[in-house]
Amino acid sequence: MLIEDFYTPAQDRRQLDVPLYRDSVQAGFPSPAESYIENTLSLDDLCIRKPAATYFVRAAGSSMEKAGIFDGDVLVVDRSLPASHRKIVIATVDGEFLCKRLDMSDPNKPVLRAENDGYPDIVLNGESELEIFGVVTTVVHPV
């Protein structure tokens, strides 16, 4: 698989501004909602900080469910962000694309951790070829 087949750049897209209401919606006890529009909100503005460095990819599988990433979710990935400790990254290990949490507790022995107990961690050694393709910044999934 080529990286060109893997992502869609997030630039040169038509922006859609949707009304953003001033009042928040209670997720606990009901509250009378006022119908005053505060402003508009673009999902591009909310989810994409650097369009030229951003791409989207669809998640497959269940290894990241405890991080709120489910099969079929769309991940917003920023290639300009540093892949640092505890960040969720898109990476290849020996040519296989993965979405995992990067553990740099021991800088000499990075680990890619699943967020599901049913999946093993990937401990990188001198023989593994790791390449980071960006940091996941946003997860979009249906309710």
List the CATH number of the domain containing 125.
Answer: 2.10.109.10
Please tell me whether residues 41 and 84 are part of one structural domain: no
3-state secondary structure of 141: coil
135 & 84 share domain:
yes
Question: Do residue 23 and residue 36 come from a single domain?
Answer: yes
- Residue with token string 């599901």: 116
Residue located via tokens 């650097």: 50
Which residues are known to be catalytic?
63, 100
Q: Are residues 95 and 130 in the same domain?
A: yes
For residue 41, name the pLDDT band (cuts at 50, 70, 90). confident
Domain that holds residue 100: 50-140
Indicate the residue type of 7.
Y
Contact between 118 and 66 (Cβ < 8 Å): no
* 71 and 128 housed in the same domain: yes
Considering the domain boundaries, does residue 7 fall inside one?
no
In the prediction, which pLDDT does 66 show?
Answer: 97
Using the predicted structure, report yes or no on whether residue 14 has a pLDDT greater than 50.
yes
On whether residue 19 sits in a domain, the answer given is: yes
Are the C-beta atoms of residues 63 and 97 closer than 8 Å to each other? no
Over residues 8-33, mean pLDDT = 62
Q: Are residues 99 and 41 in the same domain?
A: no
Categorize the per-residue pLDDT at 2 as very low, low, confident or very high, splitting at 50, 70 and 90.
very low
Spatial distance between the Cα atoms of 93 and 78, rounded to a whole number of angstroms = 19
Q: Give how many domains the chain has, as a whole number.
A: 2
Residue with token string 């910044």: 137
Q: In whole numbers, what is the pLDDT of the chain averaged over residues?
A: 83
31: pLDDT confidence band, cut at 50, 70 and 90? Answer: low
Q: What is the per-residue pLDDT for 6?
A: 53
DSSP class of residue 128 equals -
